[in-house]
A and B are shown apart, each in its own frame.
Chain A
Amino acid sequence: MSEMNETENIHKPRLTMHFKVEEEDFIIAGEAASKTKKALQQLGLKQEIVKNIAIIVYEAAMNIVIHANYGEVQVIIVPAYVTVIAQDKGGGIPDVDLAMQEGYSTAPIEAQEMGFGAGMGLPNMKKCSDIMHIETQVGVGTTLKATIYLHQSDAKQVETGAMYV
């Protein structure tokens, strides 16, 4: 295989998961995180990486449930990295810097009664990812992309393990 082909190969998705998320469907967020965790464990990735990605999926899905009308969370696994993309139609984030501050929350009381709305979601996702990017437009929606790089041993696991998931 030429060097060019190998480079292309490590960026080719081996496994993609989609989770549709509706407003106020609080159960879906935990389920998406749980399913993601199981799939990544089956691939044989390290516990800490699996946990970080599951946390990002949980927080991203919960943000859509609480703050948007509807959206989708995708988990794309390629040998070199895992990307979580959360896209929603909704109110958008008026001040991203403020939303990134730990403890700042605009979650309604119903969400807080269930234990959500601690104001830790976005900072938590940032801590768990290597790169996080937010594009948002007030009144339109938000797209969040978080990337987690895999160590070589984990990347090898993805190459060999994806076919069994």
Chain B
Amino acid sequence: MTLSDIQTILNAEVLCGHDAMDREVQTAFACDLISEMLAYAGSETLLITSLINTHVIHTAEVMDAVGVVFVGGKKPADAIINANYTGIPLLSTPYLLYKCSGLLFSNGIEGCKRETTE
């Protein structure tokens, strides 16, 4: 499934990264804690979050996220999007975290692979 398919499923707005919407997505990770994103999210994963600050965009870059979906209709300020433009597509969906995750899961997007081992 591509990011464009995800945009359709989530009825999402693309905030930036229009030219990279053909990226493939296989796994996703939903979380509002930066360290948990860094600890558990595998590379090339779609990040789903309600955080809209600069840190989440840096984190997406560090964890090699394939894209970021902001839930609940949230959008980072334009200044944050422009200053931190990393080439990673940023999307905003009106759905809340549970519904957004459920829709993607039922369409075949699995949880990311880097689960806890203990």
Q: Is A58 a contact of B64 with CB atoms below 8 Å?
A: no
Q: Is A34 a contact of B61 with CB atoms below 8 Å?
A: yes
Residues of B9-65 contacting chain A, CB below 8 A:
32-36, 38-39, 43, 49, 51, 53-59, 61-64
Q: Does A121 contact B (CB under 8 A)?
A: yes
Interface-facing stretch out of A46-54, A68-76, A80-88: A46-54
Chain A interface size band reads 20 to 34
Interchain nearest-CB distance for A128 vs B (Å): 9
Q: Which residues of B contact A130 (CB under 8 A)?
A: none
Number of residues from B at the complex interface, CB < 8 A: 21
Interface residue from A27, A30, A48, A127 paired with B39 (Cβ < 8 Å): A127
Q: Does A157 contact B (CB under 8 A)?
A: no
Interchain nearest-CB distance for B51 vs A (Å): 5
Question: A33–B59 Cα gap in the complex (Å)?
Answer: 9
Residues of A within 8 A of B (CB): 26-27, 29-31, 33-34, 37, 47-48, 51, 54-55, 58-59, 62, 114-116, 118-121, 123-124, 127
